[in-house]
Amino acid sequence: MASVALFDPCYMQALRPGDASDARRVLEALGDSVTLIDGRCCGQPAFNSGFRDEARAVGRGLLRAGQPHAAVVVTSGSCTAMVRQYLPGLWPAPRDAAAARIAARFVDFPTYVARHPSLPALPLRLPGVVALHVSCHARRELYAAPAVEALLARVEGLEVRRPADDEACCGFGGTFSVKMPEVSAAIMTAKLEALAATGARVVVSPDYSCLAHLEAGARGLGIQLEAWTLPGLLARALG
């Protein structure tokens, strides 16, 4: 049995509070003992807006919370990328190296689960059809797309459909959607039309930030689309 921490980021605790329970259920089904780190911020909103001191302050708190644990599983790809790739650089040497050693323990949920030695014994069944959206952070910074696809392929009875130009962004981009709303909405609309064209009425993604953006846009455009996170889908597949 592995002992891991599960980091439930601040925005997910606010917008999709049940996702942490789904992720915990999957990890415990794999035989892990889980400690929850909840309600903290990784520093990404401040970092992306140029507020480095504020990003460092909240990032320090998260690294301290993660320090006692050998592995910290994160239910957000964008938060994982922030911690692993950007947070250590907010400190000068030699403190950056110490921060990097802790940050390296943070791993995105699909990568951790896909590599888990107990995964082959996990019974997963969920008949149905879903469309897949792999977030930009998961695909291009964490290289987690193969892990996401491998996990979905293990779910008996599940048909996964890919939208046209499936590597395209959802248009969210964090503060980008606030600073350039017209461009963000145009990208989102194209993505939603591609998802709707698959015929699936559920879209699954490893990042709820993308799903929240798409879900709100779908409501505004009158597109019937339900958003599931990957932990949510796997928890359903456990029965």
Token pair of 42 as six digits:
């990784």
- Can you give the pLDDT at residue 124? 98
Residues 127 and 110 in one domain: no
Residues 84 and 139 in one domain: no
The band of 171, judged by pLDDT with boundaries at 50, 70 and 90, is very high
- Can you give the pLDDT at residue 173? 85
- Can you give the pLDDT at residue 178? 85
Residues 144 and 86 in one domain: no
Percent of the chain predicted with pLDDT > 70: 100
Residues 198 and 161 in one domain: yes
Residues 134 and 110 in one domain: no
pLDDT in tens, 11-66: 998 998 889 999 999 999 999 999 999 889 999 999 999 999 999 999 999 999 99
The average confidence (pLDDT) of the chain is 95
Residues 152 and 85 in one domain: no
- Can you give the pLDDT at residue 35? 98
Percent of the chain predicted with pLDDT > 90: 91
Residues 110 and 132 in one domain: no
Residues 79 and 147 in one domain: no
- Can you give the pLDDT at residue 174? 82
pLDDT at residue 1 above 80? Answer: no
pLDDT in tens, 134-150: 999 999 999 999 999 99
- Can you give the pLDDT at residue 151? 98
Residues 53 and 106 in one domain: yes
Domain boundary among 57, 88, 114: 114
User: What CATH number does residue 226 fall under?
Assistant: 3.40.50
Read off the pTM. 0.95
Domain boundary among 114, 140, 172: 114
The band of 239, judged by pLDDT with boundaries at 50, 70 and 90, is confident
Evaluate whether 212 touches 15 at the Cβ level (below 8 Å). yes
- Can you give the pLDDT at residue 9? 94
pLDDT in tens, 86-105: 999 999 999 999 999 999 99
What total of structural domains would you count in the chain?
2
Domain boundary among 82, 114, 146: 114
Residues 168 and 103 in one domain: no
- Can you give the pLDDT at residue 221? 93
Residues 127 and 23 in one domain: no
Q: Which residues constitute the domain of residue 39?
A: 3-114
Residues 86 and 151 in one domain: no
- Can you give the pLDDT at residue 223? 94
pLDDT at residue 211 above 80? Answer: yes
- Can you give the pLDDT at residue 86? 96
pLDDT at residue 125 above 80? Answer: yes
